[in-house]
Amino acid sequence: MTVLKTHQPRLSAYIKYFETLTPETVDDLDMLVREDFIFEDPFNRLTSRSDAKRLFRQMFLEMDSPAFKISASYWNESGQSAILKWRFAAEVHKIGKLDFEGLSEVCFDDAGLILSHVDHWDAASHFYEKLPVLGVILRMIRGKLRLS
């Protein structure tokens, strides 16, 4: 339980970071994660804090009003990692509105810094299906695979 007491304030700060993220606060990530921080989502596998910050800055260039809302957090038994349940919403240029839920696994090092963040969400239905040509094909495939 000592590990959990150490890591809980860091997780709370990390949650606040995402829920209040703006272009001006991107660099606040420096206080929360390691330099060799790993960030992974359906599109990226980044292996440094600076690359993650570049991705977050890019998000603000390509989207209007991106916002995260974390609704729950769950710790594993060891207290070394947690699962975050979240909702993301934004208006993406040329694609339209995004609004979906996902999960993130956040792992800590012994010093309480965040070692990795791996996102799990359905990129096919929440992103690719919104693309003009690919979306039509994916919706057709999804329709064929549905139970009738």
For the chain, what is the HEC assignment? CHHHHHHHHHHHHHHHHHHCCCHHHHHHHHHCEEEEEEEECCCCEECCHHHHHHHHHHHHHHEEEEEEEEEEEEECCCCCEEEEEEEEEEEECCCEEEEEEEEEEEEECCCCCEEEEEEECCHHHHCHHHCHHHHHHHHHHHHHHCCC
Give the pLDDT score at 6: 78
Residue 80 is predicted with a pLDDT of 93
For residues 119 and 42, the answer to whether their CB atoms sit within 8 Å is: yes
> For the chain, how many residues are written?
148
CA distance 116 to 41: 11
Domains and CATH numbers, the chain: 2-121 (3.10.450.50)
Dist CA 76 CA 69 (whole Å)? 21
Nearest to 68 by CA among 88, 94, 40, 45: 88
- At 139 the pLDDT is 57
Q: Which residues of the chain have pLDDT under 70?
A: 1-4, 123-148
What is the pLDDT, as a whole number, of residue 123? Answer: 65
